[in-house]
Amino acid sequence: MEEFIEGWTARHGATRDQLLPLLHAVQEEAGYVQDAVVPVIARALNLSRADVHGVVTFYHDFRRTPAGRHVVKLCRAESCQARGGAAIEAAAAQRLGVAMGETRGDGAVSLEPVYCLGLCAVGPNALVDGRPMARIDAAALDRIAAEVAA
Amino acid sequence: MKIYVSRDMASVALGADDVAKAFADAGCEVIRTGSRGLFSIEPLVEMETADGRIGYGPVGPWDVAAVLDGSHPNRLGAVDQLSFFAGQQRFTFARCGVIDPVSLTDYAAQDGWKGLDAARTMTPQAVVDAVKVSGLRGRGGAGFPTGIKWQTVLDAPTGDKYIVCNADEGDSGTFADRMLMEGDPYCLIEGMAIAAHAVGGTQGYIYIRSEYPFAIYTMRLAIERSAHLIAPFTLEVREGAGAYVCGEETALLDSIEGKRGQVRAKPPLPALKGLFGQPTVINNVLSLAAVPFILAEGAEAYAAVGFGRSRGTMPVQLAGNVRYGGLYEIGFGITLGELVNDIGGGTASGRPVRAVQVGGPLGAYFPPSMFHLPFDYESFAAAGGLIGHAGITVFDDSVDMAHMARFAMEFCAAESCGKCTPCRIGSTRGVEIVDRIMAARPTPPSVMPAKAGISLPEGGAEEKGDPSVRWDDGVLGKALYSRSPARIDTSIDAQTTLLRNLCDTMKYGSLCALGGFTPYPVLSALDYFPEDFGASPSPNFAPLKEAAE
């Protein structure tokens, strides 16, 4: 990871405002921002470890532990709720065998809340491994579950 | 055969990629556009014919043959003649859904860069004056006059000045920023370049939330392709990281600087001390995207449309449980009822409309008895609400408004930046109070807990009572005594009063709109839908339920 961070800062600069882009890059590379990499980032950008830790933990996007092999992000915001989102959330948890905000024991899937994907007239909506899906219903949950099992 | 298929994230979520592929496989030339903005007809395909572009929608990949021979039952004719589009005044979204979003040729052919060209022949002061005359106000929600903001930055001492676009569109029920960035990114770039010319800006940032991967991709591509046209001004996309509060302008600036997205105290205004401590124009996507029209067609043409002090058009977004959901750009002054019932067609579920939330998670809930309200900053403020980013989320009569009030507090607790106490702690206490009200309300009896058994999460621990403490001893003793869980009046009346007091504290004591506006959905739910909180309908607002039906 140290080499990756060195190479990245060489290309993009090592100023403080590069912290979020660097954290995104680290997460894309490693899947998460492990605690061990925090001091490396701090050194690279000349910040304190506490400072970097504070930023990592502030933003919902940054993970400190690996996600499941598949990530299902389900919208919990008002417009999806108005279209039956709460029932779909409960059904998704049951169908995928994992509680909202958790990763399943076998590491196959993480179910995560997201607050609005901006597809508010066609909810309930989800991002399945980065792919947007609208009008989630029982049949769509079956397809997602099959994808996760594959 | 030329076929147009949207690549907007919502269209793709409905299957537009498969449709596009099916047409390409059939030998058609497929052009990916933004979305026209009516999602009940997506995935939409438009076929170029001698009579212009003919739309079909919704269609699936299996419909290729029927579309190509014109026999498909979902033939819509010319899409812009549909009643949903014919009544609109598309100033900002004129090109969205029509052109290939990243084609410089298409953009230039459809009046693109006209505003920037006009601005470059004018002095910076003249450009700022034009924006002032147009009456354009911040489309992010606050409604502050854009021209005044620009004037402040123009008058600031020279040096590095920044143009920042707030594209952290986190409000549920809003998607206009996303649609514009995906469907007409050069329009935003042109608006930012005009702002840079007007105030002397050198570098611009577009802060886009990470939940919008398509918008990030499209904007980055468009910036790369148009760099030579806006030089020496430079632009960069910064990706958010899932913090709603970064939609607050000062938190957004801190986030770009690489810090926790915490709200700054104002003053100093960002216009004087903004990004990296330098004078900064920070505007919403829709404010900046309205500017090219103002410069190209004239400030008077923009100001000629509107209502009262709200000039120009607003891209209204119809969302939630609505039959014809989508983007409807129209001059201010149209009523809420026209938008929800006439244009939106009522609910998608076919049940009666019970409530609409206007302006996202921080906006008020209105019942149909308020549908006479004209869509305008002042009218909504006077009615105890806000138009915010002009998202309207429709709910049918199955909604539990106490649950929605609880969600408003829960959302604030999850997204609070933690800097000020009313927002950080008040939101959690608010969830607890609504929980107590929901537990105490008469229906449904099956879930009604034993009255004495209501326990307080967390906060209750300290009051459990150390036997050595005498409750009536001294000031601290008295305080602990009065907060003992056994002595909390959990009656609905007492808890409702407490909730109103808490909302008052949050409204006037919070540093920014997150804590300050969370009371809007909570109080409006309490005021307009008291029956959901176990109270009899308030005389001031009765009879609401009947009016709704």
The CATH number linked to B110 is 3.40.50.11540
Residue B410, judged by CB atoms within 10 A of its CB (0-12, 13-18, 19+), counts as middle
Q: Are residues A124 and A78 in the same domain?
A: yes
Q: Which pLDDT belongs to residue B477?
A: 65
Residue B506: domain span: 401-454+490-548
Of B14, B318, B319, the CB nearest to A134: B14
Q: Which domain holds residue A23?
A: 2-58
Name the residue among B180, B169, B194 with its Cα closest to residue B291.
B194
Q: Do B248 and B277 lie in a common domain?
A: yes
Q: Which of B 205-234 lie inside 8 A of A, CB atoms?
A: 210-214
Q: B373 and B409 share a domain?
A: no
Q: Are residues B125 and B270 in the same domain?
A: yes
Burial label, B500 (beta-carbon count in 10 A; 0-12, 13-18, 19+)? middle
Same-domain pairing of A12 and A52:
yes
Q: How many CB pairs below 8 Å do chains A and B form together?
A: 151
Where residue A85 sits, what CATH number does that domain have?
3.40.30.10
Cβ <8 Å between A132 and B9: yes
Question: What is the total count of domains within chain B?
Answer: 4
CATH number for the domain that contains residue B81:
3.40.30.10
In Å, how far is A79's CA from the nearest CA of chain B? Answer: 4
Q: Are residues B144 and B205 in the same domain?
A: yes
Question: What pLDDT does residue B209 have?
Answer: 97
- Domain co-membership, B294 together with B146: yes
Q: Two tokens at B311? A: 């000039």
Residue B485 lies in a domain: no
Same domain, A119 and A94: yes
**Cα separation of A100 and A104, whole Å?**
10
CA nearest A16 in B: which residue? Answer: B258
Per the domain annotation, does A63 fall within a domain? no
Determine the distance from the C-alpha atom of residue B27 to the mean position of all C-alpha atoms in its chain, rounded to a whole number.
Answer: 40
pLDDT at residue B483 in the model: 66
State residue B457's pLDDT score: 44
For residues B477 and B504, give the distance between their C-alpha atoms in angstroms, rounded to a whole number: 27
Q: Which residues pair with B375 in a beta bridge?
A: none
Low-confidence ranges of chain B (pLDDT < 70): 443-483, 536-549
Cα separations in angstroms, A19 against A25, A42, A69, B114, B205:
10, 9, 26, 37, 15
The verdict on ipTM greater than 0.85 is yes
Residues from chain A contacting residue B357 (CB–CB below 8 Å): 78
Beta carbons of A118 and B396 less than 8 Å apart: no
Please name which of B300, B279, B385, B391 lies closest in space to residue B344, comparing C-alpha atoms.
B391
Q: The domain that contains B327 carries what CATH number?
A: 3.10.20.600
Locate the chain A residue with the closest alpha carbon to B259: A55
Query: Residue B388: enclosing H or E segment and its boundaries?
Result: none
Question: Is the CB of residue B506 less than 8 Å from the CB of residue B519?
Answer: yes
Handedness of CA B286, B289, B292, B297 (dihedral sign): negative
Domain closes at, from B346, B372, B396: B396
Is residue B444 reached through a cis peptide bond, with omega within 30 degrees of 0 on the bond before it?
yes
Q: Where residue A40 sits, what CATH number does that domain have?
A: 1.10.10
Range B113-132 burial, b when 16+ CB lie within 10 A, else e: bbbbebbeebeeeebbbbbb
Residues B303 and B133: their CA atoms lie apart, in Å, by 7
Q: Which residues of A touch B239 (CB under 8 A)?
A: 20-21, 24
Distance (Å) from the C-alpha of residue B120 to the closest C-alpha of chain A?
31
Asked if B354 and B343 touch (Cβ cutoff 8 Å), the reply is no
Are residues A95 and A48 located together in one domain of the fold? no
Contact B43, B19 (CB under 8 A): yes
Q: Are residues B112 and B221 in the same domain?
A: yes
Count the domains in chain A: 2
Q: Is B166 found in the same domain as B55? A: no
- Structure tokens given for B363: 């906006």
Spell out which residues of chain A touch residue B319, defining contact as CB-CB under 8 Å: 79, 82, 120-121
Residues B241 and B383 in one domain: no
Partner residue opposite B13 with nearest CB, options A114, A116, A122? A122
Tell me if the bond preceding B449 is cis, omega within 30° of 0: no
- Cα B251 → chain centroid: 17
Neighbours of B87 (CB within 10 A): 13
Q: Is residue B387 situated within a structural domain?
A: yes
Whether B171 and chain A come into contact, CB under 8 Å, resolves to yes
- What residues does A94 pair with on adjacent strands? none
A86 located within any domain: yes
Strand pairing class (B45-49; B2-6): antiparallel
Taking an 8 Å cut-off on Cβ atoms, the answer to whether A122 and B39 are in contact is yes
Q: Best residue in B206, B211, B396 to probe A by mutation, most A CBs within 10 Å?
A: B211
Dihedral Cα B97, B207, B223, B188, nearest 10 deg: 50
For residues B506 and B365, membership in a common domain is answered with no
Q: Are residues A135 and A79 in the same domain?
A: yes
Among residues B303, B335, B350, the one where a domain terminates is: B303
The answer to whether position B269 is within a domain reads yes
Q: Closest to B258 (Cβ–Cβ): which among A19, A75, A130?
A: A19
Q: In angstroms, what separates the C-alpha of B360 from chain A's closest C-alpha?
A: 8
Domain stop point among B396, B420, B442: B396
Contact B157, B228 (CB under 8 A): no
Tell whether A50 lies on the interface with B, counting CB pairs under 8 A. no
With respect to residue B413, please indicate whether it lies within any of the assigned structural domains.
yes
**Same domain for A143 and A74:** yes
Note the pLDDT of residue B468: 53
A102 shares its domain with A142: yes
